[in-house]
Amino acid sequence: MPKKVVTGNYAAAYGAMRARTRFVAAYPITPQTFIVEHISEFVNNGEMDCEYVEVESEHSALSACVAASGTGVRSFTATSSQGLVLMHEILPTATGMRLPIVMAVVNRAIAAPINIWVEHNDIMPERDSGWLQVFCDNNQEVQDMVLQAFRIAEDKRVALPMVVNLDAFILSHTVEPVDLTEQADADKFLPKFTPPGHIIDPDDPKGLGVFTPPEFVQESRWQVDKAMRDSVAVIKEVNAAFAKQFGRDHGGMIEPYMVEDAEAILITMGTVSSTAHEVVDELRAQGKKVGLIKLRFWRPYPREELRKIAERVKAVGIYDRSESFGVAGPSFIEFRNAAYGLSVPTVNFIGGLGGRDVSSADIRFMYDRLLETAKTGKVKRDVVWIATRGVEP
């Protein structure tokens, strides 16, 4: 298995190639553009056998993927920020038609003000679109999760589209050593796509995504909800199968660290998880009982797993790289729902918006606040904006 120093964008493109994707819709937007550009190079070099279509917008990109996937073809695209916003109309279309499209989203702030750096406010509005969503915190995970995403999405128990999230620039343009998967190994892990029975077939005419009266829509929504819930078991199975074959276990729904005897834990998504991991080691060396949960899957949300851990700690912090304006961070809101009925004090930390660095000092501050909360049992402030001018932390 070759090891190569590559960007997160390259890792995503390489994963799509090794997945034997047969249709790619390409439209540029910073900082995603290099994903589809790398794929164009693979196609041009004869390394990837797929229909590569340059479309006129992100809306068209996902529309084209819906059409291709609807005919039983493994399909992939990628986008960021405003591009994802433009796609919004088509995301629930792919869901309702039960099409296992995989899309890489390089998370970037939404204007205004105009900003090209990392923020999670582009993907958060899509949490109710019916797409499975995973967040990566290193380039190895990006490549691996594109492969896993196809296997999860194409499982008959799921049959839903899936997003692989990676932080803008921190992963997309930063190089790291990655074990690039050989084609034979990828083929062993990811079988040839067997389309579901409802695809468009001229020899077996049927309607797909057609106008539907009220008598049937509610049942369709229930089926999507059930598939999302059933996907938890599939995600765990696929993670275990991947770990067995490749020796890399990314943790399934969540990746807990030092939580067994922790008094205070921090829940993170994306690249902040790596920095937090180091801070936990540092604080543990000082005798402080802190732990970390890397929240990998945002949809489906790992409610039961998080609740079991929250039941035995004295304070929980949730880090958000986004904000549901006037309320709190989306991850904090979701956790409070999961922890309903528990008495554990909970604090929301918001920071890193628009690409601002989240330093080790920032994370130490979060843990200090959580340890203080664990000691007193009282929350000083439930929503804390980190390193924000004019705002008391």
Q: In this structure, which amino acid lies at residue 61? A: A
- pLDDT, one tens digit per residue, over 124-175 is 999 999 999 999 999 999 999 999 999 999 999 999 999 999 999 999 999 9
Tokens of 321: 């790289």
- pLDDT, one tens digit per residue, over 337-365 is 999 999 999 999 999 999 999 999 999 99
- pLDDT, one tens digit per residue, over 8-33 is 999 999 999 999 999 999 999 999 99
Model pLDDT, residue 81: 98
Q: pLDDT at residue 205 above 90?
A: no
- pLDDT, one tens digit per residue, over 45-98 is 999 999 999 999 999 999 999 999 999 999 999 999 999 999 999 999 999 999
What is the phi/psi pair of residue 212, to 5°? -130, 130
pLDDT band for position 200 (cuts 50, 70, 90) = confident
State mean pLDDT over 278-300. Answer: 98
What are the start-end ranges of the H helices in the chain?
8-18, 33-44, 58-70, 81-87, 91-96, 139-154, 183-189, 214-246, 272-285, 303-310, 330-338, 360-376
3-state helix vs strand vs coil in the chain, percent to 5? 40, 20, 40
* Nearest Cα to Cα of residue 345 among 384, 296, 381: 381
For the CA atoms of the chain, what is the radius of gyration?
A: 21
Query: Could you tell me the end-to-end alpha-carbon distance of the chain, in angstroms, rounded to an integer?
Result: 47
CB 9 within 8 A of CB 176: no
Model pLDDT, residue 98: 96
Model pLDDT, residue 2: 78
State mean pLDDT over 285-298. Answer: 98
Angle between helices 139-154 and 214-246 (to 10 degrees): 130
**Better-predicted residue by pLDDT, 209 or 69:** 69
- pLDDT, one tens digit per residue, over 321-330 is 999 999 999 9
Q: pLDDT at residue 198 above 80?
A: no
Q: pLDDT at residue 209 above 90?
A: no
> What percent of the chain has a predicted confidence (pLDDT) above 90?
94
pLDDT band for position 1 (cuts 50, 70, 90) = low
Rounded CA separation 134/303 (Å): 15
User: In this structure, how many other beta carbons lie within 10 angstroms of the beta carbon of residue 112?
Assistant: 6
Model pLDDT, residue 279: 98
* Nearest Cα to Cα of residue 218 among 99, 96, 98: 96
